[in-house]
Amino acid sequence: MLAGGALANGVLALLALLLWGLWPQAEGVWWMAAGLNGLLCFVNLVPFASRIGKFTLRSDGAQILRLLRRDSLGLPAPLQIRITQELGGLWEAIGDTVALGAFLRMGALAWMEIGVIDQAEELCAQAEALPNSQPADRALRDLVRGLIASEAGKLETSAQALKEAE
């Protein structure tokens, strides 16, 4: 829930106003709490982004706007590729094959998104070589393999993989 922070601040502002009515001796405290939480609620919904080093920090409003424009909060393909490349060794070193497989598949989809099918197929093959016994993991494997095969024009392979994913 992207509006959770703003919603919480709005509820706290209303609660402070209610408490002011119940306990008028602490009027200054309740007005300050209501004002601060009301301001935070409003500011949190204003769409803005701030760049801190290589990281972009977005307000809830900016994330909601991004979701409405792109229909997704997913990472841009180049960033997803970079994360897969930089953190793949970590997941391998700690033996987290589930995370490694998931991020290899996301990296494969990112390569597919920018049109580099050979690299997408390579990452998909690396993910398939990992041990995986969970039904959801196998379904994800088949789905990604089917999408990449479809993009590569291998329609029979794609149809078979998508059927297996069902």
Q: Is 147 exposed, middle or buried (0-12, 13-18, 19+ CB in 10 A)?
A: buried
Q: Where are the domains of the chain?
A: 4-70, 77-165
CA distance 93 to 9: 42
Distances (CA, A) of 163 to 8, 13, 87, 127, 145: 44, 52, 31, 19, 11
Please report which confidence band the pLDDT of residue 161 belongs to, taking 50, 70 and 90 as the band edges. Answer: confident
CA distance 143 to 105: 10
Q: Please determine, for residue 21, whether its predicted confidence score (pLDDT) is greater than 90.
A: no
Average pLDDT (38-64) is 86
Please report which confidence band the pLDDT of residue 98 belongs to, taking 50, 70 and 90 as the band edges. Answer: confident
Q: What is the pTM of this model?
A: 0.57
